[in-house]
Structure 1
Amino acid sequence: MNSLFLSVDNLRIKILGTSVPIEKFVAEKGQRYGTTAGWFTAQPILEFIYGWSGFRVMSKRRDLISAWLSIIDKGEQLLQENLNEEYGIDDISLLNLLKGLCLKYLSKYLMAEHYFNHVIQKEKLLKYDHYLVPYSYYELGILYYLRGDYASAIKNLENVKNYKDYSMEARLQFRTHIALEQIPKEN
């Protein structure tokens, strides 16, 4: 499995001398998972599903979301027992973001909010996966939108704009712009 992860970087293509952002993200993650031990086996799959909006696609299938939540819980337990010194906080924060996402789709908004805020609170401790914080603000903003709290939704979505130079930034900025456009403006 490690050799497969390490070969990802060689499969990237450049268009007009620039790497495709999602390919760059996948190559960085492949390098990470290929050179370290102690990560949860389903972790890269879950991260890639999230990166490709797979959870949103599966959101109507509560049984699938519940199954992923169960897998995330098991992964969190494994990581807690064998916390990797280099990537531990990043790994746990990723699982917290994904857990919050699953709970949001299961309409457990208060619990989801807790996990998104947990990622945001760990911001200064993250070493590599700095994208987790702006994505958590985005997910929190969408959660507030679903609850009808438009002021909090706007506040959290606006927080995304305070972050620069993280993985899949353009994708999130675009999603954030679209979300802000759809929130009813108060008179």
Structure 2
Amino acid sequence: MNTQSTTTRRPIELRAGQTVVAWPDPKTPGVTAGTPGRWTLAADADCMYDLVRLDATDPNGVPVTWLLNVNDEVTVELTRAEQQAAAARVVARLADELELPEVFSWRIEDTGVVAQMSSGLLDDEQIWERIAVWAKRIGGTVTETQTGNQVNLSVDGSVDGVPVQVWTAVYLPAPAEASEVPA
């Protein structure tokens, strides 16, 4: 899921398997704290009085050990479960906002939250008004894609760092059939 994918944590809160994405140690010569990278923790944090030891490996398997103050902050990737929990909070929040148009169904996907509104006819101005309200709320613009007699209207935006898409399908009226006049 492409949510706001990082957070900061105290070193003592970190567990084996978590990914550190910014160099956390300001005392390392030649490396600036905050330098981006990817280091996977090889073991749970080990607290030693006011210091925390973190053992990690870089993408090439090279080990690194950091000794950090217990009050330092370490930038880590959110786990998939944490990303899904953030998306669930967004669904609950949006579903509770009474001024927003009703949604037919909600889904939490790897790409974020997807909300489907009820469908209607293309000349139904209320559909356009409802999707515009969603566009304003999630900070996106309405796009339309036509396939045959169906037009999909969608809005992509985000709420609290979680990508949100709201969409609906509208249908073109069937063409009037020409009446046959006998010759």
Q: If the TM-score is normalised by the length of the shorter chain, which range does it land in?
A: under 0.3
The structure that is strand-richer by fraction is 2
> Which protein has the bigger helix share?
1
Q: Higher relative contact order at CA 8 Å, sep ≥6: structure 1 or structure 2? A: 2
Q: Give the structure-2-normalised TM-score.
A: 0.25
TM-score (norm: length of structure 1): 0.24
Larger radius of gyration: 2
